[in-house]
Chain A
Amino acid sequence: MTREYAKDFTTKELIATFIARQVRDGERVAVGAGLHVPRAGILLAHLLYCPNVRLYVVMTFTNLLKEPKMEPFYTVTDFRPAKWAEAYVLHDDFQENPRLVSNLFVVGALQIDPYGNSNLIGVGEDYRHLTFRGPGAVGTTSMAHYVDRYYLYVQSHDRRIFVEKCDFISTVGWGEGGPDGRRRLGLPDNGPIYCITPLCIMDFEPQTKRMRLASVHPGVTVDDVVRNTGFELIIPDVVPETEPPTVEELQVLRQRIDVEGMLRI
């Protein structure tokens, strides 16, 4: 069966579709509240491909397969989705076993280095005199450690974010690189899988664990990515375009998930 691809879609819808393809049926998946695009992607996976996914939605667990459409919620403390709850999640339980909350996680960042180490703490050479104080690590350090798969996701792609060296590391990626970059630190091999940006998808080359361009979004050139990345990316001979949403994916996304059109602005 050939897939019928949509022709008219936004970059956010494209990324949501990419994220949807990372989810596996039956696993536990945390649905963030603030990041609209990953949230839409996970819900898309659930409605189309993963009927048995266990969704962690704003401190509850649920299954939304039979919901005709998602009502919007904007914060992790919005209690309105609790009407769907099959279980409450006590937030302190998260430390008891983070894997009960999610098998995959999306990590945001102020800075990301070539090995996928990332920083949410702040920008500046001296921790006591930061030039920009960030929001803090939230739960990213621990969740990225305990989940099977984690993804880096940023909402802009420029040389301030993609830097040779992070000022501080709040979530470890592939350490200093190499095939055993994490094992040398005494860590399991579950470093970041992809780094997802508004320009492209990047993965990590297996031998060096350096970031490598995997695909560019429609209308973006390899040169656009290189110019906006503050370190040397591995560029394969052939760089494909990111796989677009199918007609069906886009329809479900617009009619049942992103009803308000947050992904279209």
Chain B
Amino acid sequence: MVLERKSLVIDERDAASWIRDGMTIAIGGFINSSHPMAIVRQIIRRGVKGLTVVGPASGGLDLDLLIGAGCVRKLVTAYMGGEHYCPVAPMFRAAVERGELEVWECDEGMYYCALRAAAQGLPFTPWKAGIGTSFPEINPDIKVFNDPITGEPLLAIPAIKPDIAIIYAAHADPYGNVQHIGTGFGDRALWRAADRTIVQVERIIPNEEVRKNPLATSLYGVDAIVRAPYGSHPFAAPGYYIEDAEHLREYVAAATTYAKYGDRGPFEAYLRKYVLEPETHADYLQVIGIKRLIALHEY
């Protein structure tokens, strides 16, 4: 009998079918970069509800889109905005102010504590920063306790365990060896904490490429690989393309119309045009258009 190593490559529809109502999912990247958008848009198309979304330590407009599309019940992140595109993410702001979204309030340090506790199977990670702040009041999961060694007060940041982490990276081989270009932000923390990890990549590379430089492997043994060129669009992909500023401004304008004036029309139109009507990632790229996409390589 000849044994074959199994390819872990699936498409974005298979990947999104792993996500079910009410799950805790983690989404990688950082604010305006490196989000697995082909999978995120497919989650919205499937109409998944009631998710607890563990964003990156600082979340961006990818999460804002999921919130606006009604997929998210609870959000775990320390920031929600688009830097100079918008100081506060509009659908996030609207959902919180209307009492429709629960926020697990934390700062970036506390956020990594929660993931680390999950990765290590511990009930919590102790953390000092945050004593004297409102965090233990506005996030009742965070407890103040006295350190048994010094008697000083500490915060207990409880574990948050994602069922599935969905991460964007530049490359992977078919067997779950992943290469980021650049730092990979906090993606390793999501991978360490989650039960399963799906990585969406720009290109699938041969296993021989991976073996040329194993130090470049940033995540190993992940559960599935999705190939989606331009798959972080409209966000940046280190080494490939910068963020699509014009598209992000279009999104912010549509979402802000709801956040500020209560008119959901422009956001719904955005959702139809860019998410619901294109059936696949390839269809989405057709809507964006080749001229726009290749212009993002010039920076």
Instruction: Point out residues on A near B: beta carbons under 8 Å.
Output: 33-34, 59-60, 74-80, 82, 88-92, 94-95, 98, 117, 119, 121-122, 127-146, 168-172, 175, 182, 185-187
* Chain A contact residues, majority secondary structure: loop
Contacts of B182 in A (CB 8 A): 59, 79, 82, 88
Given the interface contacts A90-B184, A171-B133, does A137 sit within 8 Å of B239 by beta carbon? Answer: no
Given the interface contacts A59-B185, A129-B99, does A140 sit within 8 Å of B107 by beta carbon? Answer: yes
Q: In whole angstroms, what is the CA distance A187 to B132 when docked?
A: 9
User: Which of chain B's residues has its CB closest to A185's CB?
Assistant: B132
Instruction: Point out residues on B near A: beta carbons under 8 Å.
Output: 29-34, 56-58, 77-81, 83-84, 87-89, 92-93, 96-97, 99, 103, 105-110, 112-113, 115-116, 127-135, 137-138, 152-153, 181-186, 188-189, 235-236, 238-239, 242-243, 299
Interface residue from A79, A119, A138 paired with B108 (Cβ < 8 Å): A138
Contact present for A33 and B131 (CB under 8 Å): no
Contact present for A34 and B84 (CB under 8 Å): yes
User: Which of chain B's residues has its CB closest to A34's CB?
Assistant: B83
Contact present for B186 and A90 (CB under 8 Å): yes
Contacts of A185 in B (CB 8 A): 131-132, 153
Contact present for B92 and A133 (CB under 8 Å): yes
Contact present for A79 and B238 (CB under 8 Å): yes
Contact present for A169 and B188 (CB under 8 Å): no
Contacts of B103 in A (CB 8 A): 136
Q: In whole angstroms, what is the CA distance A66 to B299 when docked?
A: 22
A-B contact pairs, 22 of them (CB 8 A): A75-B243, A77-B30, A80-B299, A91-B30, A94-B108, A95-B116, A98-B109, A132-B93, A133-B93, A137-B78, A139-B57, A141-B110, A141-B129, A142-B110, A142-B129, A142-B130, A169-B134, A170-B134, A185-B132, A186-B131, A186-B152, A187-B131
User: Which of chain A's residues has its CB closest to B185's CB?
Assistant: A91
Contacts of A130 in B (CB 8 A): 96-97
Q: In whole angstroms, what is the CA distance A25 to B186 when docked?
A: 29
Nearest CB on A from B12, distance (A): 22
User: Which of chain B's residues has its CB closest to A87's CB?
Assistant: B183
Additional 20 contacts, C-beta under 8 A, given A142-B110, A169-B132: A74-B84, A75-B31, A75-B33, A77-B31, A77-B236, A78-B236, A79-B236, A82-B238, A94-B108, A127-B134, A128-B99, A133-B97, A135-B89, A138-B58, A139-B107, A141-B129, A144-B129, A185-B132, A186-B131, A187-B131
Nearest CB on A from B164, distance (A): 18
User: Which of chain B's residues has its CB closest to A122's CB?
Assistant: B96
Contacts of A170 in B (CB 8 A): 107, 133-135
Q: In whole angstroms, what is the CA distance A220 to B31 when docked?
A: 37
Interface residue from A34, A79, A168 paired with B239 (Cβ < 8 Å): A79
Contact present for B112 and A79 (CB under 8 Å): no
Contacts of A138 in B (CB 8 A): 58, 78-79, 107-108
User: Which of chain B's residues has its CB closest to A33's CB?
Assistant: B83
Nearest CB on A from B179, distance (A): 13
Nearest CB on B from A80, distance (A): 6
Nearest CB on B from A55, distance (A): 15
Nearest CB on B from A183, distance (A): 10
Contacts of B186 in A (CB 8 A): 90-92
Q: Kindly list the 7 A-B residue pairs having the minimum CB-CB distance in the complex, ordered from nearest.
A: A142-B109, A145-B129, A77-B33, A95-B112, A141-B107, A172-B132, A139-B108
Contacts of B181 in A (CB 8 A): 79
Q: In whole angstroms, what is the CA distance A185 to B129 when docked?
A: 11
Contacts of A80 in B (CB 8 A): 242, 299
Q: In whole angstroms, what is the CA distance A25 to B242 when docked?
A: 33
Interface residue from B89, B115, B128, B299 paired with A145 (Cβ < 8 Å): B128
Contact present for A77 and B32 (CB under 8 Å): yes
Contacts of B56 in A (CB 8 A): 91
Nearest CB on A from B39, distance (A): 19
Given the interface contacts A75-B31, A135-B80, does A90 sit within 8 Å of B108 by beta carbon? Answer: no
User: Which of chain A's residues has its CB closest to B150's CB?
Assistant: A186
Q: In whole angstroms, what is the CA distance A52 to B80 when docked?
A: 34
Nearest CB on A from B243, distance (A): 8
Contacts of B135 in A (CB 8 A): 141, 170
Contact present for B84 and A121 (CB under 8 Å): no
